[in-house]
Amino acid sequence: MRMPTTVAMAAVVSLVPLSSDGQGRTALPQADVDGINELSEAFATAVLARDWKTVTALYVPDAVLYPPGEAAVTGRAAIEACLAALPAIKDFTLRNRKVEGRDDLAYVQGTYTMTMDLPGASEPVQESGYYVEVRRRQPDGRWLIAVQMLTPHE
């Protein structure tokens, strides 16, 4: 007896595993990973332009920033004030090394480099390090930063 085509196709599709974490949850689609990477690029561009309103709009309202060697900074207004106090940044690069997530939560691991003009320094100072971000998907589909931690190389 021959099965109808739609039933046969349904049987085959049910055997093809989705990208999963082994517990039945599907992995973050590539479109979401691409969206997170694009927001990271927008973040770096806005930092170089010292456009702190644009930068802080990439955080959820109650986000927490852990700057290197400083106390946690909570909320967009406090994060904006913290970033606005930075010395002039001449170069800033983010490289997302790993982006993974499930449902409406993702994390990003990456590296950063920056060159700053510190007051009193005879030449620009370079810093590089690592960052980890926790991102939450918003109703509009954007992945905003909920927690960000930066650690410079020793």
Helices (H), 49-143: 52-56, 76-84
Confidence at 7, pLDDT banded by 50, 70, 90: very low
pTM of the model: 0.81
Look at strands 143-152 and 125-137 and give their pairing.
antiparallel
Domains of the chain: 27-152 (3.10.450.50)
What average pLDDT does this structure show over 56-75? 96
How many of the other CB atoms lie within 10 Å of CB of 106? 21
Q: Is 21:27 a contact under the CB 8 Å cutoff?
A: yes
Q: Is 102:21 a contact under the CB 8 Å cutoff?
A: yes
Query: Is residue 37 over pLDDT 70?
Result: yes
Confidence at 119, pLDDT banded by 50, 70, 90: confident
* Order of all β-strands in the sheet with 125-137: 73-74, 59-66, 143-152, 125-137, 105-117, 88-102
128's CB contacts (< 8 A; 6+ apart) are 111, 112, 113, 114, 152, 153
Query: Is residue 114 over pLDDT 90?
Result: yes
